[in-house]
Structure 1
């Protein structure tokens, strides 16, 4: 039951951090949501930062275990669209404001998350013929920034952002610089 309790606590914490933020979530909230006793949280994780670390490590590990990078631009855009709608993506957006505060316990974990997401994008870009003068590292940073911005706008005002049309537009823009031309064949 120990591993099951740990899993339940991580799942509940991830959901609550996504809904309320890290600072606004208490051990009592997590215990109630998970159905596991409040005292189990420090036993498993030491403290709230330890629980946060476990949540982020779990989410980042999931990014590394996903299938190989998409082979085509359309597959990449579809994967991106699916990711944006995932609970993990909501967690990332909710926690970013707290991560930017000096001394935040989220800062390091967020940096690790960005590293993992850039690696996923870069893996796809390495299969494509990039426009001359465009590096995979710089383009992965640019695309991640665009995706995060689109996602934040959608989470804040979903009625104002049509994700399907936005990602169609992203695809048109990427194709216009020749990015999908060779990878989609």
Structure 2
């Protein structure tokens, strides 16, 4: 097939599919080499497109990184939110959310590694803000969960509890991905033991007070 024919075939791919293909390859390259050592030339070569096409879609290497992180953020948010819909109790909801989180890090190690290894010193502000947005989105989900069972609780206390939980999950996930013999359920139980003991008293107290 001539180069013109190959170019025409590439153009037939819908933009959304091409964009997804680029992000999938970029995510793999960023995870393998780290952001600083990754090049748009290598990403373009692996995708099978020209480097100018990458810039046309994402503007810059940082723009491509931000797009990858944003996709991870959206998937993690949707999975976590869906996991707690049919929870039978606050404890069940928290456990389901935690198991989903660790299952996500297990099944999407490249995505999670991308977030954990992206250092502020080597990326631009947009990428730093997108990574923080992942944390804040998880914090908001936890606050919403706590508020559903403790509607009269102090807002600042709920926010602090959510931040603690997100920080604990992030750090334990670093340990978790290094231990192939630990299941998502076991990792979730580690967090439950450290956090639910304190939260249980708050939840029970508010539920008793409302009766």
TM-score of the superposed pair, with normalisation by structure 2: 0.69
Q: 1:102 & 1:29 partners in 2: Cα distance?
A: 19
Residue 33 of structure 1 pairs with residue 54 of structure 2: no
Q: 1:21 & 1:102 partners in 2: Cα distance?
A: 10
The aligned counterpart of 2:117 is: 94
- Greater fraction helix: 2
Flag the 1:123–1:20 CA change in 2: closer, same or farther, 3 A. farther
Flag the 1:94–1:176 CA change in 2: closer, same or farther, 3 A. same
Q: 1:179 & 1:40 partners in 2: Cα distance?
A: 53
Flag the 1:102–1:52 CA change in 2: closer, same or farther, 3 A. closer
Aligned pairs, how many? 177
Q: Which runs of 5+ in 2 are unaligned?
A: 1-12, 88-92, 205-211
Instruction: Name segments (4+ residues, structure 1) moved above 6 Å.
Output: 159-162
Moved more, 86-95 or 103-112: 103-112
Q: 1:129-157 deviations in whole A, cap 9, x for unaligned?
A: 49x777221111111111111112234x4
**Aligned-residue CA RMSD (Å):** 3.0
Residue 73 of structure 1 pairs with residue 94 of structure 2: yes
TM-score of the superposed pair, with normalisation by structure 1: 0.77
**CA shift at 1:18, angstroms?**
2.4
Flag the 1:3–1:73 CA change in 2: closer, same or farther, 3 A. closer
Q: Which runs of 5+ in 1 are unaligned?
A: none
